Amino acid sequence: MANPKGISNSPSSRKVPLNRDVVLSTALELVDTEGLDGLTMRRLGQELERDPMSLYRYAANRAALLDGITELVLNELAIFADDPDWQAQLRRIAHDLRLLALRHPNVVPLLVTRPLSTPLGLRPLGTLRPLEQILGLLIGAGFSPADALHVYRAYYGFLYGHILNELQEYIVDPEENVALLRLGLHRLPVTEFPTLRALGPVLADYDGDAELDQGLTLLLSGLAAQLAG
């Protein structure tokens, strides 16, 4: 039957209304599937079925898109600064951030390196909230503000180092039972790399969750001893 009002029923007339959240979540999906290099205003416009020029009202440029994606991911991280058990809170945050990184591995370079290109006070507020909240958690636990900042730096330095290390773990042949062959360690000269070759079984059985927890235990026990002292 003809439409008496002449309203089009084509898919383009039923597009999801645009807002900043829609634009950023679509940009994040693109980064997840196509990597950071795949994110351009033109490509994002194609995905949203919009003229790329219409997107600039939600993000002034690609750099603003990247900042927005970083905020979007970090907003998934719940931090309870008033938790009296600061060690349990830091342990949970670490495991939650690890899971976020595993869900969005292409975003990890943004989390780790992008803040370095921007002075602290000029960074997007969403990227600063974890810092503010964790500082509050540590100061509430008894650390001085300066010491809380040192703890935060050590904590995130360890955490991001672990995440980057876990993401680059690579198995040459997952079906191979012999650790040296699974990891390609058999290619290393025996006389030059005896320790790495001997650690083959341990390296092949890498458990990122357990490794993170063990590192946190060492870090947090040292911090607790410092606080008690």
Domains of the chain by start residue, with CATH: 14-59 (1.10.10.60), 79-169+206-228 (1.10.357.10)
Burial of 134 (0-12, 13-18, 19+ CB in 10 A): buried
Token readout for 141 is 């636990």
User: pLDDT band at residue 11, thresholds of 50, 70 and 90?
Assistant: very low
**Predicted confidence (pLDDT) per residue in 88-137, tens digit:** 999 999 999 999 999 999 999 888 877 666 777 777 888 889 999 999 99
What's the CA gap between 118 and 121, in Å, rounded? 8
The residue ranking higher by pLDDT, 193 or 203, is: 193
What's the CA gap between 109 and 130, in Å, rounded? 17
Residue 84 has pLDDT above 80, yes or no: yes
H or E segment and range at residue 194: helix 194-198
Q: Are 176 and 182 in contact (CB under 8 A)?
A: yes
- Per the prediction, the chain carries an average pLDDT of 84
How many residues comprise the chain? 229
